[in-house]
A and B are shown apart, each in its own frame.
Chain A
Amino acid sequence: MDDTIVSIATALGVGAISIIRVSGKDSISIVNKIFKGCNLENVPSHTIHYGHIINNSEIIDEVLVSIMKSPKTYTVEDVVEINCHGGIATTNKVLELLIQNGCRIAEPGEFTKRAFLNGRIDLVEAEAVSDLINSETELERKVAINGINGNLSNLIKELREKIIKIISNIEVNIDYPEYLDIYEVTIDDIKNNVPIIKEELKKIIDDYENTHILYQGINVAIVGRPNVGKSSLLNKLLDNEKAIVTNIPGTTRDIVEGTIIIDGIKINLIDTAGIRETEDIVEKIGVNKSIEAMNNANLILMVLNNNEELTEEDKELIKKCSKPTIFIINKNDLETKLNIEDFFDNIDKNNIISINTVDNKEIDKVKNKIKELFHFDKILNSDFTYITNLRQINEIKKSYNLLLELEKELDDNNELDMLEIDLKEIWNTLGLIIGESYEEELLDNLFKNFCVGK
C-alpha cells in the first residue's frame, strides 16, 4: 500500500468536468511535477488551486487542483483531485501523464479498500461504498446509501446486545456459583429471546431477497416448444422497453438475450427461443435447454399456443416448471384450440394469462403479472432498512441457521453453559458482519452489570 494510485473518479463521458483522484504518499509531489500555477508541495491542506497541466512545456488542460493532506481524507492518505475541463481525451492524457510520473492505476474499489485498511471506515461502510460505486439504477443507489447510514450495524449491535446480556449473565453464574443473589439465567430466558432475534434476522433476509432483485434483477426464462411465439414475445418485450443490454453473457451459462427495466427493476430475459426446431433430436435438445434455463431463472414464462391443442411436449415442459411460473396462452387473436381445463388442475389460475403479440397493450398484461408476482409495489416502497451484500447476508443466514440449531438444542439440552456456546457462536457470527471483537467487550459487560467478588 505504499504506492500512489490514480483513477478517473467521475463516470467517463458523463458531464463536462471529469475528476481525477490520486491517493498515496507521493500524490502531491507527482501532481506537482505536471502542474504549473504554484508549488503544490507548499500549499496548506484542503485548498484548491488554479493552473495548468503541462507535458514538458505543452499545456494539456486548464484545471483546478484540490490538495487534501493525510489524515483527514477519504483514504487517510494524501489525496489530490484534479478537475479537468477538456473532455474525455484530455482527461485520459492527464491520466497517462500521472502514470508516467509514478502513479499506478487503481484497482476497482481500491480507494475504499485503503480507507478501510487505514481505519477510516468500517467493513459495512466499505462494502456499502463499493455497492454505491457499482450501482446502475437510481433505486440501487438508494439502497447503497442506506447501507452507509448503518441501519444494519445498528440492528446487529442491538441483537448482539440482547445476546451478550444473556451470555454475561451465564458467565457470572459459572464464575460465581456461590452468589445466591445473582439472577440465575434459565432456559426460558433463551427460549424467549430466540424467536425475537430470529424474526429480526428473517426481516434482513427478506430485505436481502428484495434488494437482490434490485441489484441483479429478475432472471426470466421464456420457455415453450417451438412455434408457440417465444421469439415474438421476447422481441416485443425488448422492443417496447428499449433493451439496455443485448447479447451479453449472464452470470450463468445462459445467454441473457436482453435486459429491460420495468418500474426501475431489471428484468433479465434468458433466451431459449433461439433453439432450433427442425429435427426430432434437436427438438429434444430444446427441451433440455429450456430446463436448464428454468433452473437458473427466478421466473418462468411458459408460453403455450392458443391456436393448437396441448401436446405431449407442452405437458412435459409444464411438469418441469420448478420456479414461479406465468402461463402465457399466446395468440389469443386466433381461434382457441387449446383445452387447458383438465391439465391445469394444480395450477393457480391467477397465473394464467391470455395474450397476443400483435397488440402492444397485450404485452402489458405480462409486465403487470410480473410486477404482481414479485410484489414490485412492496419492493419499490420498501425503505430498505437493512441492506446487505453477499458476505453479510451469508453471515446472517449462518446466524439464522445457528438459531434454528439452538432451538433444537433447547428441546433436549438444559445445560446453560453448553447452550451458551451456541449463543456465543451466534454472537460472534453477527460480530463478523460489523467487524467487532469478542472478549474485551464481554468482560466489560460482565463487570459493568454484576456485583461479585470477595
Chain B
Amino acid sequence: MEYDIIVVGGGHAGCEASLASSRLGNKTLLITGNIKNIADMPCNPSVGGPAKGILVREIDALGGEMGINTDKSHIQLKMLNTKKGPAVRALRAQADKITYPKEMLKTLKSTKNLEIKEAIVDDLIVKDNKIKGIVLETGEKISCKIVILTTGTYLKADVLVGSERKPSGPHGEKPAKNLSDNLRKLGLTIQRLKTGTPPRIAKDSIDFDVLAREDGDNVLRTFSYDIDPLYKLEDQVPCFLTYTNEKTHEIINNNLKKSSMYGGYVTGIGPRYCPSIEDKVVKFADKERHQLFLEPESIYYDDIYLQGFSTSMPYDIQEEMVHSLKGLEHAKILKYAYAIEYDAIDPLEMKASLENKKIENLFTAGQINGTSGYEEAAAQGLIAGINASLKLQDKEPLILKRNEAYIGVLIDDLVTKGTKEPYRMLTSRAEYRLLLRHDNADIRLREFGYKIGLIDEERYLKFKNKLKAIEELTNYFKNNKLTTKENNLIEKLDTSPILDGITYYDLLKRPNITIEKLENILNLDLNYSNDVKEQVEISIKYEGYIKKALKEADKLKQLESIKIPNDFDYNEVSNIASEARQKFELIKPVTLGQASRISGVNPSDIAVLSVYLKRIKHE
C-alpha cells in the first residue's frame, strides 16, 4: 500500500496539511497517537487575537479549514483593537474545546482521499536522502512519496511539575519517544523547547460576583469569508478578569526553588511572550499585580482556564497560589498547571517551502518547527500540505512574501532567523502590516488559493464579484461630487466648508467622514455589502499610508530580486565577517533580501556580498 503523502500528527498543523493534501487529490494518510485528540486544544481555549486572527483569515483565504471550523464552534467572538486603525484589528474567539475538535474530525472523516490511522511513528524510511516511507512503533512500514511531520509537543515530551519530570504528552498522552533521535541520526539538528499551561478551575468554585466580566461583541461576525454567522449573540459566554496580589507574589517568591524552572529542572527554552507566573513575578518585581483571565473551556464541562497563570510549581504550592487570588479563595483545581519540554528541529534547516534541506520530500509544520500557537501551526500545516502537493505535481512551491501575508512573515522569519524560543506571531513582526490587514486577506490571497485548487469556482466567483463591487463603488465616489452650492450639506456632515467642488472620494479622506455618514446625510442609495464598503473606505481613508507602505514594499522587492545562486561559495568573498559567513552557509539565503534579514549579519556584510553578486553577474 503506498500513499502520496503521510501526515504525522493530528493537531492543527496536521489537520490543515491532511486536508490540503487530500483535497488536492493526493492519497493521504493522517497518523495520530489518539483519534480522540485530533484538533485538540491542550492550551488556551481561544483562536485568533492580534496577528493570529489575521493568520486565520489568511488560512481561510487560501482554502484552509481553521476559520470555518472556528465559526462552527466558538462560544464568544470579539473584534479587538476597534479603537485603533484598520491594520491591527483582529478577531478573537473563545473556542469550545469539545466542539472544535468534533467539527474538525467530522470534516476530516468526510474528506475524500483521506484516511486516518491511530499509531505512533518511530522512524522515517530514507534512501539517498529522499523519503520512502515511515516505520511505526509496531515495526510496520508504510511507504509514501512525501512525509509531513506535524508532531507538536510530542517529540520526547516530558511533563514537569515541581521537581518531578515524566515522559508524557499533554493530557497524559503517550509521547513519541524514538522519532526525534532517529531524525537526529538522519542528520537533522534537534533543539529542546519548553512551554507551559495554567491550572483549570472548577466553575462553581469561583466567586464570579467579585470579578470583572468580559462579554463578546454585539455584532455577528465570521472568520471565514464564505459563510454566514452560525451563532446567536445572546448565546455567547462571558470571560472574567482577576489579578495577582502581594500575597500571591510572596507565595511564589518563597517557593521559587520548588518550581521546575527556578529549581533548575528545565533544560528547554521557553517563550518570552508566554512567561510563567514565576517569571513574571521575578522579572517584573516592581509590578504590584498581574492580570489574569478566566476563560470557559467549553459549554459541555466546567473547566475554567486561568490564562496568565502558567506555572511549574508543585501541586501544593499551586493550591496556595490559586487561593490567594480574588474570587478564587475557595477554588477547586481540576487540572494542575504544568510545563512541557519537547524536541523540535532547527527551522534554519528547512526551505521556505517547508521542505527539509537535508532530506528531500520531508516537510515539517507547527511546533516541531519551533513555533507556538494553534494559528501558527495551522498556517504552516496548510502551506506544507500545499507545497507537498505542488512538489508531487512538479510545480514551483507557494512562497508568500513578507508584504503579501503574515504567513509569509512567519515562514520567512523561521527559515531566515531561526528561533531559539517558541515563535509567536505578533503584529510587530510584520513591516507592512498596513497591507496585511484582516479585512483584505481574501484580496491578497484568494487568487493563490484558486490557482492551487483549494478554492472552488463558487467561492472564487463570489470573490470576483466582491472585487468588481469594490471597483464600482470606488469609481462612484470618484465620479460624484458636492458643489459649493451644497455647502449646507457639508455643514450637516460637520466638516470644514469647501471652496471648490469636492468628490465624495476626497470628502471621505477627511477625518470624521465615513461612508455611513455620507449615505445618511446625502441620502445615497448604496447597494453594497458592508465588506465592500469597509474595503473602499479603508483604501480611500488610508490612501497616503497605503502608498507609503507600497513604496516600502518596493524597496524590499528590489533586494529580493537579487538572487544568490544555490551553489554560491561564501569563501570566495574574503571580507565577510566570519559570523556572517557561517550564517550564510547554514541558511543559504535565496536572495540578498533574505540575507539582509539574518540576525548577526551587519549592513557591511550585505554591502560586500552585494558588490560580489554584482561582479558575478557581470562576469
Of chain B, the residue at the smallest CB distance from A116 is: B604
Task: Evaluate contact between A454 and B603: CB separation under 8 angstroms.
Answer: no
Q: In whole angstroms, what is the CA distance A258 to B80 when docked?
A: 69
Please name all residues of chain B whose beta carbon is closer than 8 Å to the beta carbon of A173 when the two chains form the complex.
84
Closest Cβ–Cβ distance, residue A76 to chain B (whole Å) = 8
In the assembled complex, the CB of B294 is this many whole angstroms from the nearest CB of chain A, namely: 12
Interface status of A158 (Cβ within 8 A of chain B): no
The answer to whether B50 and A117 touch across the interface, beta carbons within 8 angstroms, is no
A437 adjacent to B603 (CB under 8 Å): yes
B43 neighbours in A (Cβ, 8 Å): 454
The reply to whether A1 and B293 contact each other, CB–CB distance below 8 Å, is: no
Task: Show 8 residue pairs from A and B whose CB-CB distance is below 8 angstroms, ordered by the A residue.
Answer: A1-B611, A2-B574, A114-B575, A178-B214, A413-B511, A417-B85, A453-B272, A454-B308
Most chain A beta carbons < 10 A, residue from B87, B289, B605: B87
Determine if A180 and B291 form an interchain contact, defined as CB atoms under 8 angstroms apart: yes
A431-454 Cβ-contact flags toward B at 8 Å (1 or 0): 000010111101100110001111
Partner of A454, one of B51, B198, B549: B198
- Known contacts A117-B575, A119-B605; A179 and B88 CB within 8 A of each other: no
The answer, among A1, A114, A416, A421, for a CB contact under 8 Å with B434, is A421
The answer to whether B308 and A119 touch across the interface, beta carbons within 8 angstroms, is no
Within 8 A of B (CB), among A350-377: none
Contact of B73 with A by CB under 8 A: no
Query: Once the chains bind, are B603 and A171 in contact (CB under 8 Å)?
Result: no
Evaluate contact between A174 and B574: CB separation under 8 angstroms.
Answer: no
- Among B122-142, those with CB < 8 Å from A are none
Given A1-B608, A452-B273, A180–B428 Cβ distance below 8 Å? no
Given A2-B574, A119-B605, A421-B548, decide whether A177 and B429 contact each other with a Cβ distance below 8 A: no
Q: Is the CB of B84 within 8 A of A416?
A: yes
A61 to B286, CA, bound (A): 71
Output the residue of A176, A417, A435, A447 with the most chain B CB within 10 A: A417
Partner of B607, one of A117, A440, A454: A117
In this complex, which of A178, A413, A440 has the most chain B Cβ atoms within 10 angstroms of its Cβ? A178
Given contacts A117-B575, A173-B84, A453-B272, 17 further A-B contacts (CB under 8 A): A25-B574, A118-B577, A168-B428, A174-B427, A178-B214, A412-B510, A417-B87, A417-B88, A418-B434, A421-B548, A439-B431, A443-B426, A443-B428, A443-B429, A447-B272, A451-B275, A453-B271
Interface status of B112 (Cβ within 8 A of chain A)? no
Kindly state whether residue B487 has any CB partner on chain A within 8 Å. Answer: no
Say which residue of B290, B434, B604 sits within 8 Å of A118 (CB atoms). B604
Q: Mark B479-504, 1 if CB is under 8 A from A, else 0.
A: 00000000000000000000000000
Q: Does A175 contact B (CB under 8 A)?
A: yes
A-B contact count (CB 8 A): 108
Complex: how many Å from CA A421 to CA B435?
12
A418 lies within 8 A of B545 (CB): yes
Nearest Cβ distance between residue A314 and chain B, in whole angstroms?
43
**Chain B residues, Cβ within 8 Å of A452:** 273
In the assembled complex, how far is the CB of residue A315 from the closest CB belonging to chain B, in whole angstroms?
Answer: 39
Verify A451–B84 contact, CB threshold 8 A.
no
Bound-state Cα–Cα, A113 to B307, Å: 54
**CB atoms of B290 and A451 under 8 A apart:** yes
Residue of B nearest to A414 (CB): B511
Instruction: Flag if A442 contacts B603 (CB, 8 Å).
Output: no
Q: Tell me if B428 and A418 are in contact (CB < 8 A).
A: no
A181 close to B (CB within 8 Å): yes
**Distance of A168 Cα from B428 Cα, bound (Å):** 8
Q: How far is the CB of A25 from chain B (nearest CB, A)?
A: 7
Most buried by A among B273, B307, B549, B602: B273
Q: How far is the CB of B244 from chain A (nearest CB, A)?
A: 11
Most interface-central of B43, B88, B290, B574 (chain A CB within 10 A):
B88
Q: Which of A168, A415, A438 has the most CB of B within 10 A?
A: A415
B344 CB, nearest partner CB in chain A, Å: 19
Contacts of A398-423 to chain B: CB distance below 8 A:
412-413, 415-418, 421
Q: Is the CB of A454 within 8 A of B511?
A: no
Considering the complex of A and B, which 9 residue pairs feature the smallest CB-CB distances, nearest first? A415-B85, A412-B511, A171-B428, A451-B284, A418-B85, A453-B274, A447-B272, A453-B273, A417-B84
Query: Nearest-CB distance from A212 to chain B (Å)?
Result: 27
The distance from the CB of A417 to the nearest CB of chain B, in whole angstroms, is 5
Q: Nearest chain B CB to A262's CB is how many angstroms away?
A: 41
Contact, CB under 8 Å: B274 / A454:
yes
Q: A425 within 8 Å of B by Cβ?
A: yes
Q: Hey, which chain A residues are within 8 Å of B81, CB to CB? A: 174, 177, 417
Contact: A451 with B85, CB < 8 Å? no
Closest Cβ–Cβ distance, residue A13 to chain B (whole Å) = 34
Closest to A435 in B: B603
Q: A174 contacts B428, CB within 8 Å?
A: yes
Chain A contact patch, size range: 35 or more
* Residues of chain A within 8 A of B287, CB atoms compared: 181, 451
What's the least CB distance linking A405 to chain B, in Å? Answer: 9
Q: When the two chains form their complex, are residues B272 and A175 in contact, meaning their CB atoms are under 8 A apart?
A: no
Rounded to whole Å, the gap between the CB of B291 and the closest CB of chain A is 5
Nearest neighbor of A449 in chain B, beta-carbon distance:
B284
Q: Are A440 and B84 in contact (CB under 8 A)?
A: no
- Do B427 and A175 have beta carbons less than 8 Å apart? yes
Q: Scoring A residues 161 to 178 as 1 if CB is less than 8 Å from chain B, else 0, what string do you get?
A: 000000010010111111
How many Å from the CB of A119 to the closest CB on chain B? 5
Query: Which B residues, 559 to 610, have Cβ-Cβ distances below 8 Å to chain A?
Result: 574-575, 577, 599, 602-605, 607-608
**Chain B residue, CB-CB nearest to A168:** B428
CB of A418, distance to nearest CB on chain B (Å)? 4
The interface residues of chain A lying within 8 Å CB-to-CB of B271 are 453
A168–B429 alpha-carbon span in the complex (Å) = 12
A365 CA / B515 CA spacing, docked (Å): 68
Residues of A within 8 A of B84 (CB): 173-174, 415-417
- Give the shortest distance, in Å, between B304 (CB) and chain A (any CB): 14
> Could you give, for residues 287-305 of chain B, a 1 whenever the CB lies within 8 Å of some chain A CB and a 0 otherwise?
1011101000000000000
Q: CB distance A453 to B428 under 8 Å?
A: no
**Contact across chains for A451 and B283 when beta carbons are under 8 A apart:** yes
- Known A-B contacts A439-B431, A453-B273; the reply to A177 vs B80 at CB < 8 A is yes
Q: A181-B291, A425-B548, A447-B273 are in contact. Are A117 and B604 (CB under 8 A)?
A: yes
Q: How far is the CA of A251 from the CA of B426 in the complex (A)?
A: 51
Q: Which residues of B contact A447 (CB under 8 A)?
A: 272-273
Q: Known contacts A421-B545, A453-B274: does B307 contact A175 (CB below 8 Å)?
A: no
Instruction: Check A442 against B274 for contact (C-beta < 8 Å).
Output: no
Could you tell me the distance between the alpha carbons of A12 and B50 in the complex, rounded to whole angstroms? 65
Question: Given A117-B608, A119-B577, A451-B280 in contact, is the A178-B293 Cβ separation under 8 Å?
Answer: yes
Q: How far is the CA of A1 from the CA of B608 in the complex (A)?
A: 9
In the bound complex, residues from chain B placing their C-beta under 8 Å from that of A174 are: 50, 81, 84, 88, 427-428
> Which chain B residue has the least Cβ–Cβ distance from A411?
B511
Give chain A nearest CB distance to B270 CB in angstroms: 10
B310 an interface residue at 8 Å Cβ cutoff?
Answer: yes
Beyond A177-B80, A178-B80, whether A418 also contacts B542 by CB under 8 A is: yes
- In the complex formed, the residue of A with least CB distance to B43 is A454
- Find chain A residues with CB under 8 A from B605 CB: 119
Q: For B44, give its contact among A416, A439, A454 (CB under 8 Å).
A: A454
What chain A residues lie within 8 Å of B427 (beta carbons)? Answer: 171, 174-175
| A121-145 contact mask (Cβ, 8 Å, vs B): 1 or 0 | 0010000000000000000000000
Q: Does B613 contact A (CB under 8 A)?
A: no
> Closest CB of chain B to A116's CB: distance in Å?
6
Contact with A453, one of B275, B549, B577 (Cβ below 8 angstroms):
B275
Separation of A324 and B431 alpha carbons in the complex (Å): 46
* Cross-chain contact A446 with B428 (CB below 8 angstroms): yes
> Which of A76, A451, A453 neighbours the largest number of chain B CB atoms within 10 Å of its CB?
A453
Q: Are B575 and A1 in contact (CB under 8 A)?
A: yes
In Å, the complex CA distance between A417 and B86 comes to 9
B518 on the A face (CB < 8 A)? no
A129 to chain B, nearest CB (A): 15
Given contacts A175-B427, A418-B542, A443-B428, contact A119 B602 (CB under 8 A): yes
Complex interface: chain A residues within 8 A of B283 (CB)? 451
